[in-house]
């Protein structure tokens, strides 16, 4: 990648993605035998990441659900489940239930300014 010019943001996003792949239990302990083996692993990883992995930044829905707008109904259903559980056992909650409203725009590595704005609302 020495000939590839990347911005600081692009490098940061690439490093984040690499950390995510390395942290997967299925990430090989040894080098891939071939480029085809590496490509097959990446394809399986991307499919898992987009269709099965629930992301905390988007309220524990998959990127696929978010992309197709399915998150709104899923999160409304979760909200109802939590409300019913709280009504049945209010002693289990000392505060409000989890926020199940759909997440707004999401970035892989938001700038410190954006993070601060999100924090203070």
- Spans of all domains in the chain: 8-120
Rounded Cα distance between 76 and 71, Å, is: 8
Report the half-sphere exposure of 44 (CA within 13 A, side-chain side). Answer: 11
Per this entry, what is the length of the chain? Answer: 121
82 vs 8 pLDDT, higher one: 82
| Residue 108 confidence class, pLDDT cut points 50, 70, 90 | low
22-35 confidence digits (pLDDT tens): 888 888 888 999 99
Average pLDDT for 16-43: 87
| 104: confidence class by pLDDT, cuts 50, 70, 90 | confident
Q: Compute the average pLDDT of residues 40-56.
A: 92
Over 50: is that where the pLDDT of 74 sits?
A: yes
């Amino acid at each position: 990648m020495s000939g590839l010019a990347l911005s600081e943001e692009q490098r940061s996003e690439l490093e984040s993605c690499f950390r995510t792949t390395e942290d997967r239990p299925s990430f090989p302990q040894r080098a891939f035998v071939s480029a085809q083996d590496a490509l097959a692993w990446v394809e399986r990883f991307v499919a898992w990441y987009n269709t099965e992995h629930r992301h905390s930044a988007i309220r524990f829905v998959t990127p696929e659900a978010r992309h197709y707008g399915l998150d709104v109904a899923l999160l409304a259903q979760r909200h109802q489940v939590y409300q019913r559980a709280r009504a049945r056992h209010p002693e289990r909650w000392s505060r409000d239930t989890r926020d199940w409203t759909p997440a707004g725009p999401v970035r892989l590595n938001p700038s410190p300014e954006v993070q601060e704005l999100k924090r203070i609302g």
